[in-house]
Amino acid sequence: MINKNIQNAINDQINAETYSSYLYLSMSAYFNSINLPGFANWMKCQAQEELIHAMKFFDFVNERGGDVTLKAIDGPPTSWDSPAHAFEEAYKHEQKVTSLINALVDLAIAERDHASSSFLQWFVNEQVEEEASANDVVQRLKLAGDKGGGLFMIDRELATRTFVYPTATQTA
Q: Is residue 170 part of a domain?
A: no
Nearest CA among 63, 62, 50, 58 for reference residue 14: 58
Q: Which domain holds residue 123?
A: 4-73+82-162
Q: Is residue 147 part of a domain?
A: yes
CATH of the domain at 17: 1.20.1260.10
Concatenated DSSP letters for 38-53?
HHHHHHHHHHHHHHHH
pLDDT (0 to 100) of residue 170: 53
pLDDT (0 to 100) of residue 150: 92
pLDDT (0 to 100) of residue 49: 96
Q: Is residue 169 part of a domain?
A: no
pLDDT (0 to 100) of residue 158: 97
Concatenated DSSP letters for 120-148?
HHHHHHHHHHHHHHHHHHHHHHHHH-SSS
Separation between Cα atoms, residue 91 and residue 131, nearest integer Å:
6
pLDDT tens for each residue of the chain, 172 residues long? 899 999 999 999 999 999 999 999 999 999 999 999 999 999 999 999 999 999 999 999 999 999 999 999 999 999 999 999 999 999 999 999 999 999 999 999 999 999 999 999 999 999 999 999 999 999 999 999 877 899 999 999 999 999 888 765 555 5
Helix (DSSP H) and strand (DSSP E) numbers for the chain: 6, 0
Q: Is residue 120 part of a domain?
A: yes
Q: Is residue 167 part of a domain?
A: no
Separation between Cα atoms, residue 156 and residue 153, nearest integer Å:
5
Residue 172 parent element (H or E): none
Number of structural domains the chain divides into: 1
